[in-house]
Amino acid sequence: MRSVLWALAIVLIAGPALSEPLPDMNSPAEMARVHEMLIKANEEAARMFQKQLPKKVDRITTLNSVLVANLRLIYYYSLDLTEHAVDMNKMKLLVTEDSCNDRVTAIALRYGSERQYVYFGSDGKMVGNFVLDKNSCS
């Protein structure tokens, strides 16, 4: 579902064909247009995710909520682990690799969208969070 939503945003940004050049972000007007489209795509993505939540992602991870804050999508997860059992550096590396390997997500990040991942342990305490931005896939 994430790819479908972002594909829509990228098609709006890139034009009728993804093979066309992407927008020139040196132009303030073009940057504003692209950011407005990304914000709308974020809002739609959050609405669609919320309809399906909570959702078990794997045997220990549940996606509980997705919120939007302008260009940032914020994902709230719970883990069936405690803070001491979670390696957030490894988690960030895995999520970054997955996001950067997804062409649509990587393009959205490149043009100013952000993703924040917030994780809570089974004890209810936050075990960590991180943000992916335009510098994450370089």
The residue among 85, 81, 86 whose CA lies nearest residue 123 is: 81
pLDDT tens for residues 59-99? 999 999 999 999 999 999 999 986 667 789 999 999 999 99
Supply the CATH number for residue 107's domain: 3.30.300.250
Q: Is 50 exceeded by the pLDDT of residue 27? A: yes
Q: Is 50 exceeded by the pLDDT of residue 14? A: no
The answer to the question of residue 138 being in a domain is no
pLDDT tens for residues 90-138? 999 999 999 999 988 898 898 899 999 999 998 899 999 999 999 999 8
Please give the tally of structural domains in the chain.
1
The answer to the question of residue 117 being in a domain is yes
State the Cα–Cα distance between residues 5 and 105, nearest whole angstrom: 10
SS3 74: strand
The answer to the question of residue 137 being in a domain is no
Taking the alpha carbons of 42, 103, 78, 132 in that order, is the dihedral positive or negative? negative
The answer to the question of residue 21 being in a domain is yes
State the Cα–Cα distance between residues 34 and 30, nearest whole angstrom: 6
Tokens of 58: 């794997």
